[in-house]
Structure 1
Amino acid sequence: MKNSMHLYLKDLKNISTNWVAAILIGGLMILPSLYAWMNIEASWDPYGQTDQIKVGVINNDTGSTVRDEEIHVGNELVEQLKDNDSMDWQFVDEETAMDKVEYGDYYAVIVIPDDFSEKLGTVINDQPTKAEVNYYVNEKINAIAPKITDKGATTIVEEISSSFISTVNGVIFDMFNQLGHELQSSLPDIRQFEDYVFTIEEKLPEIKEVLDESLSDAENAEVMIHDALNLIPRVEEASNQGLSTVNETLNFINDAEERLDEIAPRVNEDLNTIQQAIQDTNEFLESVEPSSMDLLDMNEQMNNWNEQINSTVTSIETVEEILQQIQEEQESGEDSGEDSGQSEENNQEQIENALNELAAMKATLQELQNQLNQVDEMIAEHNQELEDMMANLRETAQFTNERLDAFITEYKETIEPRVREEIQHAKSSLESAKSILTKVQNTIPEAQNILNRTATNLADGEDLLESVIAEYPYINTKINELADEIRQIQGETDLEEIIELLQNDPEAEESFFEEPVKLNQNKLFPIENYGTGMTPFYTVLAIWVGGLLLVSLLATDPHHIEPYTGRQIYFGRLLTFVTIGMIQTIIVTLGDMYLLGVNVQEPVWFILFGLLSSFVFITIVYTLVSVFGDIGKALAIVFLVLQIAGAGGTYPVDLLPEFFQSIHSFLPFTYAINLMREAVGGIVWTKVQHDAAILSTFGLVALLVGALFKARLNKYTHQLMKKSRETGLFH
């Protein structure tokens, strides 16, 4: 150890007494600091200069009309960007912008299309369309610039979205406010609707029963209508037959009336003849005295009377025949369906009485004829009874005359007028029946059409009822679910509270949705700027680079190794390297804080952590070169490359490739950078202890390797170095 100190002190003396060596060593002390300071200064605030990045803006928006109001979102965006100094916005035409971004004069171009406002206006439609902003970037100009311009474009879109959302939400909440007032005024109706739903729920079984009954009634009605349709042909046939019968009856009555007109004079003539014959008979009988009569004259007279009586009987039979025809015609009229009434019954009775009278009169005349015959016989026999017979004959003739007078009076005053009146009444009734039957015939097609339509409507109604009944289980379920939901809402939600919520101030709601979440940023370990954040990495990198510079310019072995052993040389020259390295570290750490103005939370610990890192790095680099020679220099450089990529100094370790993530925990840079970050941002001592212990372990391993293997491996490494120098390429 004494020889090692002797060698160390000798190195210090040589440096201090040789001004060339002093200048070179001084340069080596300052040079690593320049590397760190320049990089820190360059990365001090890179995003603070984005106002010098040129980005073209092309506004092709033609505007739109939304609810009779013109909107020009593109123009509004341009006006906002003119007041935005985050980038150097260039408002040019599309052709110029695309040329400049292609040649690299512009880093990016943002194009607002012509339908930008139109698509934003579709927010009130049932199928809204998202508006688009076209973004062009030239990524070959710079690796970072595209990320910055991407952020600028994203910020523009976010600002548009935020403004649009706040405006739309303002409109929506204004509508909600109006809806709240309308709901408040409609609250009684809503309550009534709830009652309606509950009532429907209660009445659903009854409604189902009514639907079933209605379907049954419809089916029965359909059967009845089909039966009625089937009966229409029979009704039509019956009406045709009735009309034919009425026509025939009318023709018959007209014929009867004509015959009555024809026979009426003859009947009157026959009745007058009968009356005259009876009167002549009475007069003769009154004048005849049987005792004084000439039998021959009487016999002749008797024969005349017989002829007159026969003629009278024939006339009576003629009248009987006429009355019987009238009676039959009236009866046929009744059989055809006509309602004769009380007057027709009286007329029938009168005709019947007249027929009875005629029959009695006929019988009386026949009896008179018989008596005349008997008289004739008595005259022939000269019988004493002639006088009695004549007396009876007179009495019979007188009675016949009286009955005949009464009958003639009855016939002329009652029977004939009554018969004519009834004939006219029958004709009138038949004409009415004919009119009614004609109307029935005319109505049958319409009735048939109505029945057909009714049958069709009933069939449709039946189908509808069946459809409704088929949907009843679904409706019943939905009504019950709706009622249950209303009851649940009534139990869990106060509608008045909802109305009060809807009536909130729309301007306040708009302001809320413009920035619904306000970020309260709490920095546990505040770092002022990007340069301060990068200071630990560049400082640690400068310390390692300082070690590389030392092993590149200074010899790890003295030119005269006697009387030193390998281990003495290792430790003695190590002290020289560590001393220069620590001076380098002091310069770079003090320069970071006081020259660049890096805000370090723990300045003393920042220097101390730097010195610890310097001791470990110098030990590692020195050991590699001292033990392995030029191979050690190559290993130190490779080690540097791996640590720059894998230590997480610039990018989070989680973003690194899997290989660098796997070697991250085995790199000294990892723990040195962590220690420096603790000093810059604020110390967490448990973490410092962990990182300092592992970093010190790397230095201890290097010391052990140098102490144990320098002497043993140097003879091999010296031979390799000697061989390499023979090429004239290596020093």
Structure 2
Amino acid sequence: MKTIWKLFVGDIRRITSNVVSIIIVIGLVVIPGIFTWFNVAASWDPFANTGNLKFAVANEDDGYRSGLIPVKINIGDQVVNTLRSNDQLDWTFTTKKEAINGTKSGEYYAAVVIPKNFSTRMMTFFASDGDHAEIAYYNNEKKNALAPKITGQGADTVSAQVNETFSETLTSTALSVASQLANQLDKPAAQEQLTQFNGNISDFAETLTDASGTLRTFSTLTQSARHLLESSDGLIANVSGNAKSVGTTLKQAGSGVEDLTGALKTGTTALGTALTDSANSFTAMEADVDSLFGNAGTQAGNTANALRNQATNISKQAQSYQQIYDSLDALSANEKLPEAVRNAIDHLKTNVGTTITQLNDLASALNGSADNIDAKVSDTTAERAEIKKLAQQAATSVSGIKTDYESQLKPQLDDIATSITSTTTALNATAADLKGALGNLNGTTKTADKNLTAISSVLDSTADSLAGAGKKLGAFTGTLTDALNSGDMSAVKDVLSDNTDSLAAALAAPVKVKRNAVFPVKNFGSQMAPFYTILPLWVGSLLMAVTLKTTVSRKVRKELGDPKPHQLFLGHYGVFGVIGLLQSTFSLGGSLLFLHVQAVHPLLFMLSGWVSSLVFSFFTYTLVASFGNVGKAIGVLFLVMQISGANGAYPLAVLPKIISGISPFLPATHSITAMRAAIGGIYSNDYWFAIGALLLFIPPLLLIGLLLRIPLVKFNHWYVSKLESTKVIAA
């Protein structure tokens, strides 16, 4: 230890013995910090500057003039005027040709073009066969690799932001046009047109309300399917002791649940699967009746209990069928459903009602047999035959229901599901929120029971959203209808002018997402600080290994009395470790004091840098001391892999499997994890686990440096002599 200390102190004295060496040390210390500060500052808060993104807007709208309205209406101009007051993006108003060419050249990030027939198609909103207006949207994805991502939440969010802005603007404009009609309300034709408009809004509100009710029925059917599966599997379990789990039965039922249609169709598929499971349970029970009654003489108590358990599960199935019956009854009450659908529902209701009666009879027979067995007055032969007959009838009835459902009703319900989705797609935010709510059901729920419960919950929440939007529209049309019926045209004008903004907002985004940050980080620069701090520290360690000698001169060895190899190895590392600590202190200290990088645990933030520097410097020192130039190449290879594989920027889940497989074996991975915990907060000791994983790199490095390095000395001498003989390659 004394020799190691003397070597370390001597290295410190020699490296600070002249101005040139001091300047080199200063350079080694500050380079990682400059690297870090420059990149963290550059990425500090790019999302606050999205208003600098240029969006071109070209308005070619020719306007609209009707014989009923003595004024020309140009809705495109109204859209442009609204956008002029919107500072979320840098709207640049130009011609169509310049907008498209500018987007191609990179002058504009994107462009929107309002076509010539925009007002004309917008005005079809008042007609019974109204059509949608369209706006062309051009997006330059070549301009910059990160350009689609730099706008807050990426190109998709920019599109959504533009869509919502336009949606609210267009809806407000459409309703404002109705307000303009109020100036012409003295003319009968204008009043008729306004009445038509109010009727269209009323129909749309009624459609939303009907869709809400239908969604609730689908939700009830889904829950009924879940209960039926549970009771069916319970019956099979009592019969054979080998029931399949509900999750296995419906493993595929939740596949494809990516939108509202997927959720609805999963519910209808689940009901079909539940009916199959139910029929199978009665078939299994019928086959097991003989064995149960065969034990009645020797194991009367067990037989009676088994019969009562079966009766309980059958009663649960009867309750599930009653829920299905009630749901079908509610669905058939919807007069807007096609007659063929309602007839199919009524036919199925009749069969379900018959099955409910049979199941109740079967449950009563089972309970009666159990009571007779306990009282030892059982005519087992007759009761056995009666129960088998009832079970067979139940299985046949359920199979018939399943066949009728699959062939007649399920295709109709799937069509209804598609039409409901079409209705909700008209509300921009609803569709987007549903996809987010449903997109991960397949991956995050482990059983069909949870899948069906989650789907039912989503359907109920969607129904609430649609009902809320329908209620708002209904209130508007009700107020407008009262004003029209009163004949007071000033009241009509007040209704139209007062409600356009709120009604437009309701149509544009009926659902709002409440975001709750877990371990919040106040800015993007702090989020990227681990990546931009750890990699420069690795680069700094490589620079040390390249700049400083990893061997001890003969003169120094002689002065120390020819120390042993392990003393030379450990003692000479001391200067590398000191410079590494100076690097991390300078870099991380500056990030905290000058850049004000967030750190919930400042001391642990510094500690993560100190430990990382020591491990990194020992890593590169050992490689170069043991393998020479080959060790330097290995250090560069690790740098390359850690840029993408250390989980510093892109999530490992979106990278190729080979990258995520390598990641745990990269030192920077654990350094970044520890630093993130210090910045955002520690959860379940994740910081200390990461530090521990980082320190696990030390033992194998000691093995290489203290044992394997010695046999490689002759090889390194031969390798160096060969390189020097070329007179070109530095050894």
TM-score bracket, normalised by the shorter chain, equals 0.5 to 0.7
1:62 match: 62
1:547 match: 541
Partner amino acid, structure 2, of 1:521: R
CA contact (8 A) 2:79 2:173 kept: no
Q: Distance in 2 between matches of 1:92 and 1:498?
A: 36
2:112 match: 110
1:22 match: 22
Q: Distance in 1 between matches of 2:682 and 2:171?
A: 43
Q: Distance in 2 between matches of 1:564 and 1:134?
A: 74
Q: Distance in 1 between matches of 2:103 and 2:202?
A: 51
CA RMSD of aligned residues (A): 4.0
CA contact (8 A) 2:604 2:678 kept: yes
CA contact (8 A) 1:649 1:673 kept: yes
Residue 601 (1) aligns with residue 600 (2) = yes
Pairwise mapping of residues 502-517 of structure 1 onto structure 2 (< 5 A)? Answer: 504=475, 507=499, 511-517=505-511
Q: Which structure has the higher relative contact order (CA within 8 Å, separation 6+)? A: 1
Q: Distance in 1 between matches of 2:543 and 2:722?
A: 24
The DSSP-based 3-state class of the residue aligned with 1:536 is helix
Structure 2: runs of 5 or more not aligned: 179-193, 207-337, 354-467, 478-498
Q: Distance in 1 between matches of 2:713 and 2:623?
A: 11
Residue 131 (1) aligns with residue 134 (2) = yes
Q: Distance in 1 between matches of 2:472 and 2:99?
A: 50
CA contact (8 A) 2:3 2:563 kept: yes
Residue 160 (1) aligns with residue 166 (2) = yes
Partner amino acid, structure 1, of 2:15: I
The DSSP-based 3-state class of the residue aligned with 2:610 is helix
Cα distance, 1:657 vs structure 2: 2.1
Pairwise mapping of residues 272-671 of structure 1 onto structure 2 (< 5 A)? Answer: 504=475, 507=499, 511-560=505-554, 561-562=557-558, 563-671=562-670
Q: Cα deviations across residues 197-238 of structure 1 (Å, max 9, x unaligned)? A: xxxxxxxxxxxxxxxxxxxxxxxxxxxxxxxxxxxxxxxxxx
Cα distance, 1:578 vs structure 2: 1.2
Structure 1: runs of 5 or more not aligned: 184-474, 489-496
Q: Cα deviations across residues 264-308 of structure 1 (Å, max 9, x unaligned)? A: xxxxxxxxxxxxxxxxxxxxxxxxxxxxxxxxxxxxxxxxxxxxx
Sort the Cα spacing of 1:137 and 1:65 in 2 relative to 1 into closer, same or farther, 3 A.
farther
Q: Distance in 2 between matches of 1:639 and 1:26?
A: 25
Partner amino acid, structure 2, of 1:18: N
Q: Cα deviations across residues 330-381 of structure 1 (Å, max 9, x unaligned)? A: xxxxxxxxxxxxxxxxxxxxxxxxxxxxxxxxxxxxxxxxxxxxxxxxxxxx
Sort the Cα spacing of 1:22 and 1:179 in 2 relative to 1 into closer, same or farther, 3 A.
closer
Q: Distance in 1 between matches of 2:595 and 2:470?
A: 61
Q: Distance in 2 between matches of 1:477 and 1:47?
A: 54
Sort the Cα spacing of 1:588 and 1:110 in 2 relative to 1 into closer, same or farther, 3 A.
same
The DSSP-based 3-state class of the residue aligned with 1:157 is helix
Partner amino acid, structure 2, of 1:59: N
Sort the Cα spacing of 1:648 and 1:80 in 2 relative to 1 into closer, same or farther, 3 A.
farther
CA contact (8 A) 2:469 2:506 kept: no
Q: Distance in 2 between matches of 1:727 and 1:44?
A: 49
The DSSP-based 3-state class of the residue aligned with 1:17 is coil
Sort the Cα spacing of 1:695 and 1:481 in 2 relative to 1 into closer, same or farther, 3 A.
closer
CA contact (8 A) 2:580 2:614 kept: yes
Sort the Cα spacing of 1:176 and 1:481 in 2 relative to 1 into closer, same or farther, 3 A.
farther
1:83 match: 85
Partner amino acid, structure 2, of 1:550: M
Partner amino acid, structure 1, of 2:685: T
Query: TM-score w.r.t. structure 1 length?
Result: 0.53
2:716 match: 717
Q: Distance in 1 between matches of 2:474 and 2:139?
A: 45
Q: Distance in 2 between matches of 1:503 and 1:484?
A: 34
Sort the Cα spacing of 1:165 and 1:98 in 2 relative to 1 into closer, same or farther, 3 A.
closer
1:48 match: 48
Q: Distance in 1 between matches of 2:101 and 2:470?
A: 58
Q: Distance in 2 between matches of 1:691 and 1:106?
A: 44
Sort the Cα spacing of 1:486 and 1:106 in 2 relative to 1 into closer, same or farther, 3 A.
same
Cα distance, 1:17 vs structure 2: 2.9
Query: TM-score w.r.t. structure 2 length?
Result: 0.53
CA contact (8 A) 2:36 2:532 kept: yes
The DSSP-based 3-state class of the residue aligned with 1:690 is helix
Cα distance, 1:555 vs structure 2: 0.8
The DSSP-based 3-state class of the residue aligned with 1:135 is strand
Q: Distance in 2 between matches of 1:597 and 1:84?
A: 32
Partner amino acid, structure 2, of 1:527: V
Q: Distance in 2 between matches of 1:476 and 1:119?
A: 34
Q: Distance in 2 between matches of 1:499 and 1:539?
A: 53
1:39 match: 39
Partner amino acid, structure 2, of 1:546: G
CA contact (8 A) 1:551 1:625 kept: yes
Sort the Cα spacing of 1:556 and 1:163 in 2 relative to 1 into closer, same or farther, 3 A.
same
Q: Cα deviations across residues 496-554 of structure 1 (Å, max 9, x unaligned)? A: x9999986456576654443222222222111221111001111111111101101100
CA contact (8 A) 1:33 1:584 kept: yes
Q: Distance in 2 between matches of 1:107 and 1:610?
A: 39
Over the matched positions of the two proteins, sequence identity in percent amounts to: 33
Cα distance, 1:662 vs structure 2: 2.1
Q: Distance in 2 between matches of 1:2 and 1:501?
A: 84
CA contact (8 A) 1:623 1:705 kept: yes
Q: Distance in 1 between matches of 2:640 and 2:346?
A: 74
Q: Distance in 2 between matches of 1:498 and 1:701?
A: 65
Q: Distance in 1 between matches of 2:471 and 2:510?
A: 21
Q: Distance in 2 between matches of 1:574 and 1:690?
A: 26
Sort the Cα spacing of 1:148 and 1:62 in 2 relative to 1 into closer, same or farther, 3 A.
farther
CA contact (8 A) 1:62 1:117 kept: yes
CA contact (8 A) 2:110 2:139 kept: yes
CA contact (8 A) 2:100 2:138 kept: no
Q: Cα deviations across residues 157-204 of structure 1 (Å, max 9, x unaligned)? A: 232124446788999999589969x99xxxxxxxxxxxxxxxxxxxxx
The DSSP-based 3-state class of the residue aligned with 2:591 is helix
Q: Distance in 2 between matches of 1:65 and 1:574?
A: 86
Cα distance, 1:40 vs structure 2: 0.8
Residue 95 (1) aligns with residue 100 (2) = no
CA contact (8 A) 2:126 2:197 kept: no
CA contact (8 A) 2:76 2:114 kept: yes
Sort the Cα spacing of 1:515 and 1:127 in 2 relative to 1 into closer, same or farther, 3 A.
closer
Partner amino acid, structure 1, of 2:578: T
1:308 match: none
Sort the Cα spacing of 1:101 and 1:679 in 2 relative to 1 into closer, same or farther, 3 A.
same
Partner amino acid, structure 1, of 2:47: Y
CA contact (8 A) 1:617 1:699 kept: no
CA contact (8 A) 1:539 1:589 kept: yes
Q: Which of the two has greater helix per residue?
A: 1
Partner amino acid, structure 2, of 1:132: I
Cα distance, 1:133 vs structure 2: 1.7
Sort the Cα spacing of 1:647 and 1:63 in 2 relative to 1 into closer, same or farther, 3 A.
farther
2:252 match: none
Pairwise mapping of residues 227-242 of structure 1 onto structure 2 (< 5 A)? Answer: none
Sort the Cα spacing of 1:648 and 1:514 in 2 relative to 1 into closer, same or farther, 3 A.
same
Pairwise mapping of residues 650-729 of structure 1 onto structure 2 (< 5 A)? Answer: 650-728=649-727, 729=729
Q: Cα deviations across residues 110-136 of structure 1 (Å, max 9, x unaligned)? A: 322223344444456647346232314
1:201 match: none
CA contact (8 A) 2:645 2:652 kept: yes
2:11 match: 11
